[in-house]
Structure 1
Amino acid sequence: MTIRIGHFISIDHLILGIALPRYIQRKGSGADTDVIPFSMRSWGQVEKGFLSGDINAAFMDIAQAMYLSDKGLAISMLMFTHRAGSRIIVPEQIRRLADFKGKSVLIPHKLSIQHMLVHRLLSAGNLKIANLGKLGESVDIESVPYALMPEMANADLDCDIAAFICPAPFGDVELKKKGFRPLLISRDLWKDHPGSVFVVHQDLLKTKGKNLGLMVNCLLDSARQLDRYMASPDTAEKGIEQLSASFLGLSASQTQKALKTSGITYNPKLLVPDMKILNIVLDYMCTTMEGMPTGTDLHGFIRPEFIHTILSES
């Protein structure tokens, strides 16, 4: 059985782009067909990929993954893929949170950490969220794939869009143009908040356990190298910058800037599955946002033994 991994081309999923060449090198013969990455454009496409069987592993938003697991999709979380890393980007006419009134904010998916963070931001500013499209003094929340956010904001002649939230490199081109700027980074709302997680179909745990162990090892190694690169680019492992830039489709300088200005971290210790963190997300989305069913069951969802084994050996 081939491991078919769905992912985005973003800094949230960067460790995969660096880990794959390492995995192929370490596994040897046949590894290039043993794991196949699939670049995707939306969280909805990731969900459909799992349901159709086109993919059997993914870098998926933690809220979406918990929801699908509770609904019966046989997936397990092996690790976080990063912490923090999103930016809230606004046009030049938005100077303060009160300017959001009567406008909309673009999020990638209803069941996403970005939605939770935007909800916390609006609540902190005592801004109401629109109900059934009735704006007035409220703020509308609209789900839009990352790739379409900058295009929509750039074409917003009526200035109806107050902001969009996304990881790099989405929106970077617009930030270079006059009229767009980051209002804040997501860690300002919740330091080291969770984001995407590496989930696999439970069939893979039975048939590809050894290979998944090697993959997690390579992902952790990539995280360590990125952590060092961000702390000291000049002394980082040779090739880490080139691999990162190649995966993101950016130049070396653009890659370095995206990593440094996003607030993202790949600290391996923070990539271990943490039920306390999951319950914080779950409680907020179930009770405060009422966006996820109460009584969501996470029993058997996390499988931390892969990452625990590797960290203990290192």
Structure 2
Amino acid sequence: MRLPLTIRIGHFISIDHLILGLALPRYIQRKGSGADSDIIPFTMRSWEQVERGFASGDIHAAFMDIAQAMYLFNKGSAISMLMFTHRAGSRVIMANQIQRLADLKGKSVLIPHRLSIQHLLLHRLLSAGNLKIAGSGKLGESVRIESVPFALMPEMASSDLDGDIAAFICPAPFGDAEVEKKGFKHLLLSRDLWKDHPGSVFVVHQDLLVTKGEDLALMVSCLLYSARELDRYMSSSPDTAENTIERISASFLGLSGEQIRRTLNTSGITYCPKLLAPDMQILNIVLDYMRTTMKVMPIEADLNGFVRPEFIDTVLSEL
């Protein structure tokens, strides 16, 4: 029986994974008959669900945060990274009453997961303000960090009656106009903390490298061409933008065309194809910072066999 290539997108729909929404129709068109059963995207609800899916064999591939992917690989999960899916794209959202970083003392800040790039970026922000994270300082003088799924952050922040939640960091489109109407503001873009920082990556079970190599090569090609289209779309005016990109993006994210344009243009995200190739130097920066400075990554710095750049390298040479 033919093994299906099932792509788990993660637990939220955001611009971090937008190239998947654009790539699927292209893949089906290029692959031909039966291709729609080869790729089965699933919207995941939590990071834990992604981990359980790989462990049980329920999923064979996924879009996930780079830190989580490295952690699972080091734990023994037989996965390999083929490419980044974007660079940058998250935002720090603050309550209106927070006027300076020092006002975060004794408050809570929401992150998606302790092993997330957003946690790393928040740590850098707090460190720049000489703020301690709960556990390393006295209660009331430190900042509490809470892990919350992206989709729940705006609701939790806007319904926080006691004003404990002072900020959260998430990718677009979470934290847009609805939050702004309820006492929050966009403080800064994640690229302001680390320009072109990594985010999500496309990883696959290593068995697929042998059994579905041709399909993976085609999928990576479709992802990269979709990234190039998005990159061009963001640099063009609405009059010259391709309607197909806007329509598929709106369907994938559940937003209007106008919301899509605003979200892409105000998030700081980039899909520049050259930046989507795996970069060991960047992976090691993330690994070392989270392992030594933050002390939240309980793994050794051994990524041998994790990165498989040959798929994207082949496509980049043809662009």
Question: Could you say which residue in structure 2 is the equivalent of 1:190?
Answer: 194
User: What is the aligned counterpart of 2:263 among 242, 258, 266?
Assistant: 258
User: How high is the TM-score relative to the length of structure 2?
Assistant: 0.96
CA contact (8 A) 2:94 2:167 kept: yes
Question: Could you say which residue in structure 2 is the equivalent of 1:152?
Answer: 156
Aligned-pair CA distance for 1:294: 4.8
Distance 1:188 1:257 in 2: 19
Corresponding residue SS for 2:168: strand
CA contact (8 A) 1:13 1:81 kept: yes
Q: Does 2:273 match 1:268?
A: yes
**What is the one-letter code of the residue matched to 2:33?**
S
Deviates more, 1:175-184 or 1:251-260: 175-184
Question: Could you say which residue in structure 2 is the equivalent of 1:174?
Answer: 178
Structure 1 ranges of 4+ moved more than 3 A: none
Q: Does 2:8 match 1:6?
A: yes
Deviates more, 1:30-39 or 1:293-302: 293-302
Q: Which runs of 5+ in 2 are unaligned?
A: none
User: How high is the TM-score relative to the length of structure 1?
Assistant: 0.97
Q: Does 2:65 match 1:61?
A: yes
Distance 1:6 1:36 in 2: 8
Distance 2:289 2:134 in 1: 19
Question: Could you say which residue in structure 1 is the equivalent of 2:312?
Answer: 307
Aligned-pair CA distance for 1:136: 1.4
Question: Could you say which residue in structure 2 is the equivalent of 1:83?
Answer: 87
Distance 1:43 1:170 in 2: 17
Distance 1:13 1:190 in 2: 20
Percent identity (aligned): 77
CA contact (8 A) 1:213 1:306 kept: yes
CA contact (8 A) 2:117 2:199 kept: yes
**How many residue pairs align between the two structures?**
314
- The 5 A counterparts of 1:1-314 are 1-7=3-9, 8-131=12-135, 135-232=139-236, 233-314=238-319
Give the superposed CA RMSD: 1.3
Closer/same/farther in 2, CA of residues 116 and 85 from structure 1, 3 Å limit: same
Aligned-pair CA distance for 1:176: 4.3
**What is the one-letter code of the residue matched to 1:138?**
S
Q: Which runs of 5+ in 1 are unaligned?
A: none
Aligned-pair CA distance for 1:133: 9.9
Distance 1:194 1:147 in 2: 21
CA contact (8 A) 1:107 1:142 kept: yes
Corresponding residue SS for 1:234: coil
Distance 1:42 1:132 in 2: 28
**What is the one-letter code of the residue matched to 1:65?**
A
